[in-house]
């Protein structure tokens, strides 16, 4: 079982729609959860982090965490073509030493 799992996609949504990205993790003791965006050929950039169960909103982005189900998601409202990228879910494990990444979900927003 992979430590962090994501649907590889590609996920395609029309402009203005809600994009929903999902992630599960195996380490039940994990405490910190992150979403990164990576454009092709570029480095990952941090979008959101969440530590507590529930929702956290930042502009058009909402991160959702359910520790009991070991599940974290990212919602992107009013999707724009500029949101087209690969979204990486990352989890800091119970050892708190380092961050483990999922393989990423490629999102395409069509005009």
Helix (H, G, I), strand (E, B) or coil at 30: coil
Taking CA atoms, 44 is separated from 33, 38, 108, 109, in Å, by 15, 4, 17, 19
Q: Which residues pair with 88 in a beta bridge?
A: 36
Q: Is 1 in the site for other proteins (CB under 8 A)?
A: no
Q: Is 42 in the site for other proteins (CB under 8 A)?
A: yes
Report, in Å, the least distance between residue 106 CB and other proteins: 9
What residues between 80 and 109 interact with other proteins by CB under 8 A? 88, 90, 92, 95, 97-104
Q: Which one of the spans 21-29, 37-45, 57-65, 69-77 is the region binding other proteins (CB under 8 A)?
A: 37-45
Q: Is 52 in the site for other proteins (CB under 8 A)?
A: no
Tokens of 44: 């990952």
Residue with smaller CB distance to other proteins, 56 or 100: 100
In 16-92, beta strands by DSSP E: 19-25, 32-38, 45-50, 54-58, 61-66, 71-76, 85-92
Helix (H, G, I), strand (E, B) or coil at 69: coil
Q: Which residues pair with 7 in a beta bridge?
A: none
Report, in Å, the least distance between residue 24 CB and other proteins: 14
* Binding positions for other proteins, rule: CB under 8 A: 4, 6, 31-32, 34, 42-46, 49, 51, 88, 90, 92, 95, 97-104
């Amino acid at each position: 079982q992979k430590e962090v799992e994501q649907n590889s996609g590609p996920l395609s949504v029309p402009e203005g729609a809600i994009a929903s990205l999902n992630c599960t993790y195996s380490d039940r003791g994990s405490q910190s959860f992150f979403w990164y965006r990576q454009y092709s050929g570029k480095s990952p950039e941090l979008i959101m982090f969440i530590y507590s169960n529930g929702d956290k909103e930042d502009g058009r982005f909402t991160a959702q965490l359910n520790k009991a189900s070991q599940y974290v998601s990212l919602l992107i409202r009013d999707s724009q073509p500029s949101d087209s990228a690969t979204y990486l879910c990352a989890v800091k494990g119970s050892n708190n030493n380092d961050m483990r990444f999922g393989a990423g979900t490629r999102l395409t927003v069509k005009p």
